[in-house]
Amino acid sequence: MARRSIIAANWKMNGDLTLVNTMVNALSEVDFQNNVNVVICPSSPYLSALVAKTKEQKLGPTFAVGAQNVSEHENGAYTGEISTKMLQELSVEFVIIGHSERRSYFKESSTQIAHKVSVALNAGLTPILCIGESELERATEQTETVLASQLQPVIDEVGIEKFVDVVIAYEPVWAIGTGKTASSEMAQETHQFIRQFIAQADENVADKVPLLYGGSVNASNCEELFAQADIDGGLIGGASLKAEQFKVICLAAKGK
């Protein structure tokens, strides 16, 4: 079975109702390639509006709504947190987990992130698991060690067989929002390592897991990046706030 391509938009703490309407209207004009999914992940206050707008425009199964975070707890005294049940009720299908900003600013550990992946999978949500190294770690040739240390706790928690329902986004921390982008060769080399690392546990699963690249992806560099053998799409930040540029990125994606 061919791997699907996924273009996921991470709006972070940006966007508004106007962008929700503008983006959905723009995407409704696009004929996506077969085996391509587009996921928009707005801030939580806009999830309901985005779901409603996609239904109004009848975007269909190609398009999905995702959240930027989820709690590892089902309910309780966790002010400000969002549970999987809440996301299910809003018809959210994907959730970003382990983004470098969550790891850095909010001190989420790989163990906590593994728990979040587990509860998301148990709730029928598709986790977009983010991994990536810092500029110093890249410079000191620790990239593979770091990525392995971020992946292994999740494998240990959920089991390798569950990774057929996981999307992995490789985002080098030094390229997020900086304008710096890994060369297509560098990105492919790292994605190949990720796939091979998963293959050590299960080759069949490794062949099916979509691997996304994130880190200053834009309309100019997306086609070359997505052409690489092990890059199945992108997790898009700043460019996903610009409807016309995001359309170009979506059209560059093709299932493998």
Q: What share of the chain is helix, strand, coil (3-state, %, to 5)?
A: 45, 15, 40
What is the pTM (predicted TM-score) of this model? 0.96
Q: At what angle do helices 47-57 and 17-27 cross, to 10 degrees?
A: 30
Q: How far apart are CA 164 and CA 208, in angstroms?
A: 6
Per-residue tens of pLDDT for the chain, all 256 residues: 478 999 999 999 999 999 999 999 999 988 887 789 999 999 999 999 999 999 999 988 899 999 999 999 999 999 999 999 999 999 999 999 999 999 999 999 999 999 999 999 999 999 999 999 998 999 999 999 999 999 999 999 999 999 999 999 999 988 777 777 789 999 999 999 999 999 999 999 999 999 999 988 999 999 999 999 999 999 999 999 999 999 999 999 987 7
- Residue partners of 71: CB distance under 8 A and separation at least 6: 78, 81, 82, 83, 84, 116, 119
The per-residue pLDDT for 109 is 97
Cα–chain center distance at 45: 19
Q: What domains are there in the chain, each with its CATH number?
A: 5-252 (3.20.20.70)
- As to burial, measured by CB atoms within 10 angstroms (0-12 exposed, 13-18 middle, 19+ buried), residue 108 is buried
- Tokens 């494998």 locate to 155
Euclidean distance between CA atoms 32 and 34, whole angstroms? 6
- pLDDT at position 166, please? 98
Q: According to the model, what pLDDT value does residue 69 have? A: 98
Residues annotated as catalytic are 99, 171
CA distance 41 to 131: 17
Q: Is 151 exposed, middle or buried (0-12, 13-18, 19+ CB in 10 A)?
A: buried
* Tokens 């190949």, residue located: 192
Q: Quick one: tokens of 230?
A: 């092990």
